Chain A
Amino acid sequence: MSKLRRSMLFLPGANAAMLSTAFIYRPDSIMFDLEDAVALREKDTARMLVFHALQHPMYQDIETVVRINPLSTPFGLLDLEAAVRAGVDVIRLPKTDTPDDIYELEGHLARIEREYGREVGSTRVMAAIESAIGVINAVAIARSSPRLIGIALAAFDYVMDMQTERGDGTELFYARCAVLHAARAAGIDAFDVVWSDVNDEAGFLREVDLIRKMGFNGKSLINPRQIDLLHNAYAPTREEVDHALRVIEAAEEGARNGLGVVSLNGKMVDAPIINHAQVVLERAAASGVRR
């Protein structure tokens, strides 16, 4: 079973209280933000806080991601040094427009890993796509490096680039489809945008329902209150689990009787159906059954 990445919780890197407690909410991944959530005058202290938090035992059992500043800024390379040295699992590269951005990051990563005694290639990468050119290049970006675990769409900069604004999702229609197809073509994960109005639970759930049906692995989150809502929405229903169990049972009986293909309630049960049933059961094991 591949790593479950439904929820990726953003933490402002300069916020000591949040860095000291966020692990208790158990998101699938925690993303320490050194970029937009940190004021210019606090870039150095945020980097230092994240450097120490990453090495603390409280973050050893959870996937850690650090969103660094762009490498074109005076902060990007320092962020990278600190995060890799501290043993981060994944680097999130903001504003990824072309594969060249990933190649540049890879070069720095290999050097830093060698310097600090980490296995070259062990630091994984997630590309955040935040522009029209990034969306156009999504396939090339998704295929650019074996370090990539996924690509994420970031809405705020993207809608500005498209000269529109966040609304009912129409403004993200093409970008979501493009990023998702690029990720699937490359065999990596796809992450949807943050929902910034924490008090609009109904709006959040509508968006989660949409991206789950589209096929996104998960979503970036800005508030721990959104974690359970998201995980529950990603859990299969009792009916889906019961059906999956019947499919597996029918498949096992067919195998015992030497049959390649069996039927269940008049419908053919073949390899794709069995694979889907296994995915449903794995998801139920991880997420529980939807309430």
Chain B
Amino acid sequence: MKIVREALAGTQESSDLMVKIAPAHGELEIVIHSEVIKQFGEQIRQVVNDTFRAMNVRQGLIIIEDKGALDCVIRARLQSALLRAADEQAINWGTLK
């Protein structure tokens, strides 16, 4: 999946997260800010990396502002932002588990 434009998804509210995506050359760069980074940083990174791998994203700048979201919310917000950034109309639900 190729990121072709800037996109946002999510909110800054508690239990949610905001994902900002921008096209970039070179490697995929992911920046994570989280209120619970000390307790759950590894888990959050795992969910984020798994999601990008499943959607075959290799390039782009991703900034994540987490406010204590559950894994399922993280996945949903990332995927929404990616679909917006890639301008994808057709959704392959199989890759979004």
Contact = CB atoms under 8 A, between A and B. Distances in A.
A116 B91 CA distance: 14
Interface string B58-94: 0000000000011011011101100110000001010
A16 B65 CA distance: 14
A114 interface: no
Interface in B1-34: 9-11, 13-17
A51 interface: yes
Interface stretch (A42-50, A192-200, A273-281): A42-50
Given A16-B11, A85-B93, A56 B70 contact: yes
Contacts of A113: none
Chain B's interface size range is 20 to 34
A136 B72 CA distance: 42
B54 interface: no
Top 6 closest A-B pairs, CB basis? A16-B16, A17-B15, A52-B72, A45-B80, A48-B76, A49-B76
6 contacts: A16-B69, A16-B73, A21-B15, A49-B72, A52-B72, A53-B76
Interface string A52-89: 11011000000000000000000000100110010000
Q: Could you say which of A19, A21, A116 has the most chain B C-beta atoms within 10 Å of its C-beta?
A: A19
B36 interface: no
B73 A49 contact: yes
The secondary structure that dominates the A interface is helix
A49 B10 CA distance: 10
Given A51-B76, A52-B72, A17 B16 contact: yes
A232 interface: no
Contacts of B15: 16-17, 20-21
Given A48-B96, A53-B76, 17 more contacts: A16-B11, A16-B15, A17-B13, A17-B14, A17-B16, A19-B73, A20-B70, A44-B84, A45-B77, A48-B79, A48-B83, A49-B80, A52-B73, A52-B75, A55-B72, A56-B70, A81-B93
Contacts of A19: 73
B18 to A, nearest CB: 11
Contacts of B76: 16, 45, 48-49, 51-53
Q: Could you say which of A16, A19, A45 has the most chain B C-beta atoms within 10 Å of its C-beta?
A: A16
Nearest to A86: B93
A19 B69 CA distance: 11
